[in-house]
Structure 1
Amino acid sequence: MFWNGQTVMQAHEEIDEHTNEEIFPLDVSKISQTPTKLPDGMEWCVIDPEDEDAVSAVHRFLAENYVEDNEGNFRFRYSYGFIRWVFGQPGAEKEWLVGIKSGGAIVGFISGFPVRVSVREKEVCMAEVDFLCLDRSMRKKGIAPLLIREMGRRVNAKGCGQAVYTVGGRITRPFTAARYYHRQISIRKLLSVGFSVLPRGSTVEEYEKMNRICVDGAGVFRRTTKADVKTIKSLLDETKDRWEVRRVFSEEEIEYVFCSDGGVVSLVSEDKDTFISFYTVSTVAIKENTEILCGYIYYYAAKRKADLLGAVRSVLSLCQEMGVDVLNCLDGMENGVFIGELGFVPGDGMLHYYLFNWKLGYTPSEKVFLSLL
C-alpha cells in the first residue's frame, strides 16, 4: 500500500495523546530536482493561475470528475470564479498547481497552498493539499500516488516539510475526524433529488414548516470590507487559546479571504465582537441533472461562544436570500453551540484530517480550527 511507505502516522501505531513532533527532519539539499517519472504518453504540467484558458481547463476537469458520494448520485461542481479565487491566494506557489496531461488533455490534478498552522503552540509551515482528482479512465492505475509524490517533492523543494489534508475515508491514522451536518432550506427541491428523506408520518408541508428559517435572535451583521481586517485579526487572536490546532492568518490573507469579493462570504457584527464566513459550492444530482447550491460554514470567531447562535441565524437568513438550498457544517470547532438549536441534522459523511510528516496525538474535533475548501 502506498501510504505504508510515507512519513505519516500509520494506523497500527501506538501514539500518546501528548505527542506533537516532526516525523523526519527535512533536508532540502537531498530533495530530487527531477520530476516523478510518469507512464509513457503522460507529462506534467503547471497551471498558471493568470492563464484563463488553463484555469478553465482545470475547472471543466473538476466539474466532470471531482468528488462524488459513494452511490454516485451527487458530485461537487465548483464555479470557475471560485476556482480562480482559490488559485490566487496570497503566497500561492504556481508550481504547486500540478496537472498530468495525456494527449493534450488534463487527466489528473492536485493543488497545494502554503499555510501556517499552530499545532499545540508550535507554528508550522504546511501545504494545504486539496483537489486531488483523476479522470475516470485513470483510476486504479497507480496514478494518484504519483500525483501525491510529485506534490510532496515540490513542496519539500521549497523548504516546507509538512502538509495537511482531508479525506472522506480513513486511509492511515487521522489526528481528528468530524461528521457532516446539514441545515435544509429548500425542502421540496432536496426531497425531489433524494438529498433529503421525508420523515415517516410527515407531510411535505409539515416538514417545510419544521425547517422554516427563523431570524428571531439573529444578530445585527453586515458584509465585511477591507476596513475590517484588523477587527477580524483581533478576534482570531483573542480566541486562539480555544484551539489545539488552528490556522494562523496574516492580515494579507484575512483581506483576501474574508474582506474581498472572492469565493467566501463574510459577515461581522455591528459591535465587532463576532465574525463568521461561509462559501457556496454547487452539488449536481447526477441522475436528475439538477444543481443543489450548498453553503459551507468556514471560519469564524466570537468573543462569546453564545453569540455564534445569532451569527449562524444571520447566515441562514442570507443563504435563503441567496437561493442556497442547504447549509452544511461539521460537528467540530464550536459548531455544537448551534447545530441542535438551529435544526442541523446529521449526514452520512465523515471527514478525516491528516498530517504529512507530523505526529500528533488524537485531538477532539472541537479543538481543531481548520477548514479546508
Structure 2
Amino acid sequence: MRKYMVTAILVVFAVVTIGTYYVQASQETPPNYKLTTVQGDASLVEGIAVYGNYMIKDSTFGIKRAYITTNGTDYPDEKSAISQSLNRRPMKTQLDQWIEEHRQFMRGKTNTSGFYENEEMLAYVNATVDTKRSNDSSAKRNAKLSISVLNKQKNNTLEITSDINVDHDISDMYVQNVQLIDQQLVAMVFMNHSASGFVSEPQIIRVNLTTKEIKNEPLALPGVKSVAADGDTQYAWLANQNLEHTDQWILRISRNNHRKAYQVDVKTGQISPLTFQGHEMLLNNIMNAYGQKIYFLQKAVSSKENIGFAVISYDLVSKEYETTLKNTHIDLSENITYAFKQDHLYIMGYKNFKGNRLYVFNLTSGNLEYEGKVISTEAANQAEDEANMDLNFIDLGQF
C-alpha cells in the first residue's frame, strides 16, 4: 500500500509541475525585440537575423529561442510542431531564392556548399555513401556522385551520376565547395574515416561537363593522414566562403591538436603548405579566405581584461601581412559569435556584451561601418527585458 501511495504522490507532483509550467508559459507574452541602428549603414543588416535565448521572466523552467530582425522577434518554440519541423528562418536565404526561381531543379537539394552559380548556370554536386558495412578491411564501399546542371537560358538540366568505390571505413562524404574551371566542375569533398579514430580526408572531384567523365583526385597533403588508425583525430575545414568564385582553396587541418594550412590550386591541384613563417601563431586563430587574402581574427589585443581584437590579413600574391583592423575597446572577454560576408566581419558577444550589440567592420578599410543594438520595444520593462536576452548567433542567410 505504501508503495502505491509513493507512486501516486509522484504522479500528482509531476502533473502539478507540468501544469504550472504550461500555465506560466501561456500567461506570459514574451517581449518583442528589434535590431536597431546606433550608427552606420543600416543596409548591411537588411535581411539578416540574430538569434538569442530569452530567459522566461519569474520562471525557473527555462528559456525561449528568439529570432530577431530589424522588423521584430519570432519565437519558434511557440509555433506548431509542423511549423517547427520545417525549421523556417526569419529571413529569405540563398536556398529560398533559388527555390523561388528554379523550384523543379531545387527538389531535394539542400547543401549550400554543393552549389555553383554564374549567369549561365546553376550547378549542384552531391555525394552519398552506402550505409552497408563489410567486416573485410580490404573491401571497398559504394558511394554515389550526383551532378545536376541547370542551363538558365534554355531552362534544361544536365544530370550526371556515377558510382565510385571508397575505403571501407568511410562513413560520410560532404561536398565543401564547387568551382567551374574550363568547362569542368571541380569540387572539394571531405571523406570521413571513422572505423578507427576519426580522420577527415580532403579530395578533389572533377566533372567534365562535355564528356561527362568524372575523376577523383586524392590530395597528398604533407603531414596529413588519409586513413584512420586507432586514436587518430583529424579535422578539416575550408576557409573559403560559400559560393565565392575562386581559383585557390585554403584548407585548414587539425591533426591531434596540431594545426596546418594549405593552399590548393583549383585548376591544377597543386598543393602549397602555408607556414606563415614568422607568424606561425596565426594558425591558432580564426581563419577566413576571401579574394586573394586570408584573414585571421585574434582576440585580446590588450592584456587588460581581454579587451579588443585584431584582424590580420595575409596576401596570397604578395605574401605580405597587414593588420587591417585593430580595436582596443570592445569587450570580447565573453564568448563571441561572428560571421564573414565577403570582406565584412559581423561580430557580437554572447552575454552582457555592451547591451547586446552587433558590429560590422569592413576588412579592407578597417572601418566600423555599422553598430546596432537589440532593444525591447516594451518601454515599461525595457531594461529588464534586455537583461533577459542573450544573443548567440548571427544568421546572414548564406547557408
> Structure 2 length normalisation: TM-score?
0.24
Higher helix share: 1
> Structure 1 length normalisation: TM-score?
0.25
Higher strand share: 2
Larger Rg: 2
